[in-house]
Chain A
Amino acid sequence: MVPVSAISIKKLSKHFGKLRAVDGISLEVKEGEVFALLGPNGAGKTTTISMLCGLLRPTSGKASVAGYDAETEPLKVRKSIGVVFQQPSSDDLLSGRENLEMHALLYGMPGEGRKERIDSMLRLVGLTDRQKSRVKEYSGGMRKRLEIARGILHKPLILFLDEPTVGLDPQTRSHIWEYIRKMSQVEKTTIVFTTHYLEEAEKYADRVAIIDHGRMIALGKPSDLVRKLGGDIMLLKSKEPALIASELRKMPFARSVKIKEGIVSVTVPDSQKNLPKMLRLLDGVDSIEMHPATLNDVFIKYTGRAIREDSAEGSYWERIMNSKGDR
C-alpha cells in the first residue's frame, strides 16, 4: 500500500542530557514533496534526520517513515530511504565507482542491471569521466555529487539530504541543486533536505518547516509564510516625505508606514495588485525601491533575530570533521 504521508512525525524529541536538541516537533511530509527543514546551526536539523533514519533513538515521540515506525521497523524504513549526510561520508580510499558498487551490494540490488544503473547515476551527476579516480582526489562539489548519486542509486522512495550544499561555493551550490531537481523529477522521489541557507529553502522547497532551538516555529509553503507577514516593503523617496506618509496612511492596504531619514517605508500586502494602485494615488514620488519579504523576515518575526549563514558549525564533532584532512 502506498502511504499518503511519506513521513509523519508526532511530538518527536531528543534530549542530550539537559539539552533539548529536538523538542516536540510534529509534522507530515507528503509523498513526492520537496520539503525543507530550515534553521540556524544547532537548531536540531541533523538530530531530527538521524532519528528518522533510525540512527538515533528518540527520547520521546513517534516517527513513521514510508509507513513504517522508525524505531520498531528500522530495516523496513532503511529499505525505503536514501541518505546523504552533512559530512562527506563516501570512502576516500575507494574510487567513485567502487563506492557506488559497494552501495549496490549493501542494498542488495539485483546484479542484473546494476552496472547500467551505476552508469546512469554517474552520468546524472556528471562524474562519468572521473569514476575511476579515488574520492580523495575529488573536489568538495564532486564528492557531494557522488553522495547524491549514491543516495538515489537504489531508487529510494524518500531521500534525506542533510545540508547538501554547505561549505560549497555559490556556483557549485546551484549545480548541486540542478542535479537534485533533475533527480526529483526523473525519479519522483520525496525529498527532505535541511539547510541554513534561506534562499535555498525559498527557492527549492514546496514546503518548509522553520526550526529554532529544537522547536518548530513555522510550517508552510515559503510563499504563504512570507505572505502571512503582510506584504513587501517599499521604500519611497520624495521631496515631501511627510505628505507622502499621510497620503499612504489613508490607503486601506498600506501597513506600518514610517519615515526614517527622509525615506518613507510602507508594507504593502499583495504588492503585485496594490503597488500600481498605490502609485496612481500618490504624487511626487521620485524613486521607489521594492524590498520583497523573505523567509528571513519570517524567521525574524518569530525569533527576533536573523539566521546567520556564516556561523561556525555547532558541535565538537562537526568541527573535528571539518578540519579532517587526508587519512
Chain B
Amino acid sequence: MHYLEAVYAVWLREITVFFREKERVISAIVTPLLWIFAFGGGLGASVELQGVNYQTFIFPGVVSMAVLFGSIFYGLYIIWDRKLDFLKLVLVAPIPRSAVFMGKMLGGMSDVLLQVVALMVIGIAFGMAGMDSLVLAVPAALLLSMCIVSLGLIMGASMSSPDGFNLVMSFVMWPMFLFSGALFPVENLPSYLGFIVAINPLTYGVDLIRFAFLGTTAFGPVLDVAVLLGISLAFIFIGTKSFERMQV
C-alpha cells in the first residue's frame, strides 16, 4: 500500500505551490500586520487590558486570526481546485480519498504554519513577545490549524460552486473571529455571547496561543488542547467522509 507515499505526494505539491505563489504568502503576512499596527497600535495608545498594552494583548489574537483566515481560505480553495486542476488528477489516482484528505490537511497546516511563524518572528522583533514563547506558540498554532483546515476542507468539499463562499465568510469566518476572544477577554461577557464563545473552537486556540505568548489563560492549556484535539479528530473523520462523497 503506498498510502504514505500518496499523502506525501499531495503534501509535497501543496508546499511547492505555496512557495511559488509569492502573492499569497505576502498577503497572508501583511493583513495581520495591518491589524496589529492599525488596530492594536491605534487603540493601544489609550487602552490597557489584563495588565499589558492592547497591542500586546491582541497579538496572540491576530496570530489566531492569521491561522483562521489562512486555514479557511485554503480549505475553500478546493472548490476551484477540483474543477480546474490538480485535485481532479488526484481524485482519479488509485489512492483512497482519506489519503487525499490527509495530504491536503498537512499541506494546509504547513502553509499556515509558515505564514504564522513569519508573523510571530515579526511580532517578537517588535517586542510583543519573547523568543522562548515560540516553543509553545508554534505547536499551539499547528494544533489550531489542524482543526480549522479540516473544517475548511469539509466546507470546500461540500460546496459545488463558489457561490457559497461569501456565506462562509459572513456566517462562519467573521463570527468565529469576532466571538473568540481574539480582540477582547472572554471572562466577563453577557451569557448569550458567552455561549457562542464557548462553542467556538477558535476560542480555545486563542486561549492556548495567548497562554504561550502572555502566560494568561481563561480555560487552562490542558482543556484547550483537549478541546482542540477532540474537535480536530471529529473534523478529520467528517472530512474524510466528505472527500469520499465528493464528485467533480
Identify the A interface with B (CB < 8 A): 50, 53-57, 75-76, 78-79, 81, 83, 85, 87-94, 98, 102-103, 105-108, 150, 317, 320-321, 324, 327
Contacts and interface: CB of A to CB of B under 8 A. Distances in A.
A106 B10 CA distance: 8
Given A93-B16, A93-B21, A106 B95 contact: yes
Interface residues of B, number: 27
Contacts of A85: 88-89
The interface centre, meaning the residue of B2, B17, B85, B91 with most chain A CB atoms within 10 A of its CB, is B85
A105 B93 CA distance: 10
The dominant DSSP class at the B interface is helix
Contact of A106 (B17, B20, B90): B90
B193 to A, nearest CB: 40
Contacts of A81: 92
A107 B90 CA distance: 9
A93 B20 contact: yes
A38 B218 CA distance: 66
Contact of A91 (B5, B86, B93, B96): B86
14 contacts: A54-B92, A55-B92, A56-B248, A78-B93, A89-B86, A89-B88, A94-B16, A102-B9, A102-B12, A102-B13, A108-B2, A150-B89, A321-B84, A324-B84
B94 A75 contact: yes
A78 B89 CA distance: 11
Interface of B: 2, 5-6, 8-10, 12-13, 16-17, 20-21, 83-86, 88-96, 247-248
A317 B79 CA distance: 12
A48 to B, nearest CB: 14
A87 B84 contact: yes
Given A106-B6, A108-B6, A321-B84, A79 B17 contact: no
The interface centre, meaning the residue of A90, A94, A103, A108 with most chain B CB atoms within 10 A of its CB, is A108
B9 A106 contact: yes
B6 to A, nearest CB: 6
Given A89-B85, A89-B86, A105-B9, A94 B247 contact: no
